[in-house]
């Protein structure tokens, strides 16, 4: 493992552009439940009941309850060693480093990363389902579905649900980054949700060296050049240590 981590660090050292894609696994060590797998959020809740536009239309109250519950967990959580290592990586590599996260918890920005795309939105943003007006919102309990100040429409969490498109600018910027990097790291994601997962294949087709950090194998594992099996909060700090040498 030490040798593999060295290899990864060396690839990063000589790279011109590195892109990192993170998923729920990187926040697991902050105490935020992942979606799938052991203790995954969807063992108790069915995705199709909660993370879809039709679920919201059917029962906005229930969907808000779920998001408020998650807001409370996220509010209490802070960045862990994995987040902090990625912040240090950005400090070292500056504009050669770019982060795309599927997480809505905002922990990468909290850790200090600036070159970040929040691919699936942010849980602290609330958006009007009618007129699209957005606002920053730290409410952790709604007894009623919140209404838009401007038009009175129902407000919803500012995240991307199943069946919804990724905002065009976000998608294009992410594809562009993936096409133009020479190292692509995929960290703590099950790699099954599209189009996020396809970013790894895009980078691979463009010739990038692909690294995966995960405690398990995923559908992306066969395409990666280097598998680092283990916790992001342990492996990432070790990679960054080598970068400092």
111 part of the interface to ligand BJW, by CB under 6 A: no
Distance in angstroms (rounded) separating the CA atoms of residues 11 and 208? 10
Among 148, 181, 197, 200, binds Zn ion (CB under 5 A): 148
Among 71, 87, 120, 177, the one annotated catalytic: 120
3-state class (DSSP) for residue 194: coil
Sheet holding 134-136, edge to edge: 134-136, 121-128, 155-159
What six digits make up the tokens of 111?
Answer: 């850790």
8 part of the interface to ligand BJW, by CB under 6 A: no
Among 151, 172, 205, 216, binds Zn ion (CB under 5 A): 151
188 part of the interface to ligand BJW, by CB under 6 A: yes
| Residue 55 or 183 with smaller CB distance to ligand BJW | 55
**Residues 80, 202, 234, CA angle at the centre, nearest 5°?**
20
Q: Candidates 31-39, 87-95, 126-134, 168-176 — which segment interacts with ligand BJW by CB under 6 A? A: 31-39
| Residue 24 or 85 with smaller CB distance to ligand BJW | 24
In this structure, are strands 18-22 and 209-214 parallel, antiparallel, or unpaired? unpaired
Annotated catalytic, 120?
A: yes
Burial class (CB in 10 A: 0-12, 13-18, 19+), 174: buried
Q: Candidates 36-44, 108-116, 148-156, 202-210 — which segment interacts with ligand BJW by CB under 6 A? A: 36-44
Distance in angstroms (rounded) separating the CA atoms of residues 148 and 19? 37
Which of 177, 172, 181, 161 lies closest to 18 in space, CA to CA? 181
β-sheet bridge partners, residue 183? 18, 209
213 part of the interface to ligand BJW, by CB under 6 A: yes
133 part of the interface to Zn ion, by CB under 5 A: yes
60 binds, among Zn ion, ligand BJW, none (CB under 5 to 8 A by kind): none
35 part of the interface to ligand BJW, by CB under 6 A: yes
Which of 192, 197, 184, 190 lies closest to 226 in space, CA to CA? 184
| Residue 59 or 130 with smaller CB distance to Zn ion | 130
What six digits make up the tokens of 136?
Answer: 């920053």
Which of 5, 86, 70 lies closest to 35 in space, CA to CA? 70
Q: Which residues bind ligand BJW (CB under 6 A)?
A: 23-25, 28-29, 34-37, 40, 51, 102, 104, 120, 159-165, 188-190, 192-195, 213-216, 218, 231-233
State the catalytic residues. 120
Q: Which residues bind Zn ion (CB under 5 A)?
A: 128, 130-131, 133, 148, 150-151, 153
């Amino acid at each position: 493992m030490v040798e593999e981590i060295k290899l990864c660090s060396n690839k990063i050292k000589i790279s011109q552009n590195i892109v990192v894609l993170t998923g729920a696994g990187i926040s697991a060590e902050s105490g935020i439940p992942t979606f799938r797998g052991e203790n995954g959020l969807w063992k108790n809740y069915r995705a199709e009941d909660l993370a879809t536009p039709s679920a919201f239309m059917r029962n906005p109250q229930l969907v808000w309850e779920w998001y408020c519950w998650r807001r409370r967990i996220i509010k209490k959580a802070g960045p862990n060693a994995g987040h902090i290592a990625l912040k240090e990586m950005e400090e070292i590599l500056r504009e050669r480093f770019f982060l795309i996260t599927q997480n809505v918890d905002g922990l990468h920005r909290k850790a200090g990363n600036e070159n970040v795309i929040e691919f699936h939105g942010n849980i602290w943003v609330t958006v009007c389902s009618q007129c699209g007006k957005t606002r920053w919102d730290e409410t952790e309990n709604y007894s009623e579905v919140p209404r838009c100040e401007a038009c009175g429409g129902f407000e919803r969490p500012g995240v991307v649900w199943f069946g919804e498109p990724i905002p065009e600018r976000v998608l294009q910027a992410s594809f562009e980054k993936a096409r133009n990097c020479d190292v692509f790291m995929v960290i703590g994601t099950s790699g099954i949700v599209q189009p996020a997962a396809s970013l790894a294949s895009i980078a691979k087709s463009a010739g990038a060296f692909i690294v995966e950090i995960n405690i398990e194998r995923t559908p992306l594992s066969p395409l990666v050049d280097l598998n680092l099996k283990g916790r992001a909060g342990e492996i990432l700090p070790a990679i960054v240590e080598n970068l400092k040498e």
